Structure 1
Amino acid sequence: MELTPSLVESTAAEYRDAEPLYAVEREHVEMLPGTFRGDEYGWRDVEWVVQWYFRRHLGGYPDAERRATESAFRDNDFGAVADALDAVTGAESVADRLDHLTALAGVDAPVASAFLFFLFPDTCVSIGRREWVALRAAGEVDRPYPEAVSAEEYLAYHRTTADLADRLGVDAWTLYRALWRLGETA
């Protein structure tokens, strides 16, 4: 499969009609970057990102793992989460942003990538098996999805998706939607 601008644009457009979470995701993509840069957010806002990472699979993700991660995240003090988000929005590099997020309980590189996606939807794509499978089918990555995604693997993925979005002339939100749909069929 070759990822072309027309394929990515048309597949991202299909996402809108085919994916049941599209409307709420779009709302959060538009709302959360500004919300997390201000002081007007609460526990539900930050917890929603963690829940979204797993629940976007609509029951297709192992429930025990999802529950364990969500429970671990709830063990964080809200002030620590707010401090991490402040540090993320002020950090210059994706690596530093990732470090601030993964210092929180229940936040590994994939969950951190969901926060980066909702904080920086123009430049960061959330990582997951489906997105990776689509990239591999297109020859953008050359190995199977890792059992446990490390920070280094996410950073390499981020470089790949950022380069791809630039080559295709799309933002990360558009690329994410296309990869999600293409990864289902790849």
Structure 2
Amino acid sequence: MDLGRRVLEQQEPLYAEEEEMYEDEVARLESLPTAFEEGEWTREDLEWVIEWKVRVFTKPTLKHLDKNDDEEIRARINEAVHESSIRSKVEALTSLTGIGVPVASAILLFINPDRFTVIDERAWNVLHETGYLGQELSDDPTVDEYLLYLGACWTLANEYDVSLRMLDRALWVLDIKGESIASD
């Protein structure tokens, strides 16, 4: 199977069916970029992003996040919003206790969904199976892996003229459907 535009577009309704937080995701993708840009986001917004990304690990992740004081959290998110370097953005977020690269990438997605996507094992698997990524994702993704993943996603989104969010959703669905992309 080729990852063409038609294939990617066909996954959107399936994502909406599979993703229990889909409606909230859509609403937050509308509101959070402005909230982050203007510094008007709340702790509840950040907790929602974490829950959206980590699901069953939300409570442990939030427990670790609580080890950071509110000023530190606000300063690191402000850095992630305003830094020009993607590496610096990710490193600012991962300097917070409890935030690894996957959660940092989710925060970046909600800061700017036109520029960032969330690193995910399922999506990575599809890119690996189709030859867009040459290695498997490590158990504890690194900043370098995120940069590699993001570059592959930018390339595909441009190649097929789709948004990063559409691409990400499609890759996620293609992996959970259990289809072997490479063998089709």
Same fold (TM over 0.5): yes
Give the corresponding residue for 1:136.
Answer: 128
Give the corresponding residue for 2:10.
Answer: 10
Question: Following superposition of structure 1 onto structure 2, how do residues 73-152 of structure 1 map, counting pairs within 5 Å?
Answer: 73-152=65-144
Q: Deviations over 1:16-54 (max 9, x none)?
A: 234222101111111111111123322111121112111
CA shift for structure 1 position 109: 1.0
TM-score for both structures, normalised by structure 1? 0.88
CA shift for structure 1 position 83: 1.2
CA shift for structure 1 position 99: 1.3
Conserved? CA contact 1:131–1:183, under 8 Å? yes
Which segments of structure 1 move beyond 4 Å, counting only runs of 4 or more? none
Gaps of 5+ in 2: 180-184
- Please state whether the residue corresponding to 2:119 is helix, strand or coil: coil
Conserved? CA contact 2:32–2:41, under 8 Å? no
TM-score for both structures, normalised by structure 2? 0.89
- Please state whether the residue corresponding to 2:11 is helix, strand or coil: helix
Gaps of 5+ in 1: none
Q: Deviations over 1:93-135 (max 9, x none)?
A: 2111111111111111111111111111112111121111121
For residues 137 and 41 of structure 2, what CA distance do their matches in structure 1 show?
Answer: 34
Conserved? CA contact 2:123–2:175, under 8 Å? yes
For residues 100 and 163 of structure 2, what CA distance do their matches in structure 1 show?
Answer: 24
For residues 156 and 47 of structure 1, what CA distance do their matches in structure 2 show?
Answer: 27
One-letter amino acid of the counterpart of residue 87, structure 2 = A
- Please state whether the residue corresponding to 1:35 is helix, strand or coil: helix
For residues 161 and 151 of structure 2, what CA distance do their matches in structure 1 show?
Answer: 15
